[in-house]
Amino acid sequence: MSETKDLIVIGAGPSALAAAIYTTREDIPTVLYEKGVVGGLAAITDQIDNYPGFAEGIAGMKLAHELQSQAERFGTEIEYGEASALRRDGSEIETIVDGKPVRSRAVLIATGSNYRKLGVPGEDELYGRGVHYCATCDGAFYRDRTLIVVGGGNSAVQEAIFLTRFSTHIDLLVRSKLRASEVLQKELQKYVDAGKITVHIGASTDEVLIKDGTFAGVKTTTDGVQTELMADGLFVLIGLIPNTTFLDGSGVELDPQGHIITDKRLATSVPGVFASGDVRSGATMQIASAVGEGASAALAIREYLEEQAREVE
């Protein structure tokens, strides 16, 4: 059996890294397990303008790198691995990472969220080959080409504006109404007035069109009339879903949307298991609040570990 760790953190986004900065500074050995990119979705965000302390904004990748460097400076270990299950076993928690058990006295779940899909015909077939979910990752492939963006929230509008750096024209399909902030809507209007973006309100996306094995456009319906909208690529930006499927059978209570339910100390229904950031029910889906929750979770975990140590004595 491997040695029991004091704390493992599942995920390595801003909330996880902030927690690790606090725990390792207080001499709590901490290991983070990340299945994808250190920094999470923040790392693949082109520009972050609402994180306090950066008057001119900061590139998402740079912020992620700074958080990682700071956590590692205090002794945080970051390992790549995917958690597939978790259960309480006596006074410890057993987490299955890449098929192997990892035992710890406490666990922080900070797995964040993933991109929500349309669920329409043709979408999965062209994933990464005409259908995308991250403008900053794939936008540069569409220089001097036309694009379709689906979504009406802050991310969709912000990413559509970003894509004008490359695309000659963007059709923005909004299923119901624009939900982006007033500031972003005013910014969007500048691109509409310039002819760079056309906004389609009340437009559903019914199907991804495939021609000769490549992306050709989408079928869209507005006011009961279905039409074909042709373009060179599609970016789907309709929100996020929490990364909690690995918690099935764990005893960790989830809300109807799959987010983790916690108390005010960020503790879950399983003793020794905590949650912070976008994966938590009630989270604001903002980097600044995710970082704050990571710090709060770290303090709660320290108190929990101290309580456990006193019980053993």
Pairwise CA distance, residues 236 & 123, whole Å: 10
Of 140, 189, 131, whose CA–CA distance to 163 is shortest? 140
> Whole-angstrom Cα distance, residue 175 to residue 156?
12
Q: What number of H helices and E strands is found in the chain?
A: 7, 19
40 and 104: one domain?
Answer: yes
User: Which DSSP letter does residue 271 get?
Assistant: T
pLDDT tens by residue, 146-202: 999 999 999 899 999 999 999 999 999 999 999 999 999 999 999 999 999 999 999
- Tens-digit pLDDT profile for residues 251-294: 999 999 999 999 999 999 999 999 999 999 999 888 999 999 99
**174 and 211 co-located in one domain:** yes
Are residues 143 and 82 both part of a single domain?
no
Q: Tell whether 265 and 283 lie within a shared domain.
A: yes
pLDDT tops 70 at residue 1:
no
Q: Do residues 158 and 264 both lie within one domain?
A: no
Instruction: Show the tokens assigned to 50.
Output: 């609402």
The residues that bridge with 199 in the sheet, in sequence order, are 172
44: which residues sit within 8 A by CB, 6+ positions away? 37, 60, 61, 134, 136, 137
Share of the chain above pLDDT 70, in %: 99
Q: Is 24 exposed, middle or buried, given 0-12, 13-18 or 19+ CB atoms closer than 10 A?
A: buried
CATH no. for residue 125? 3.50.50.60
At which of 216, 236, 256 does a domain end? 236
Tokens 């590692």 correspond to 72
* Count of structural domains, the chain: 2
**Residue span of the structural domain in which 152 resides:** 117-236
DSSP state of 110: -
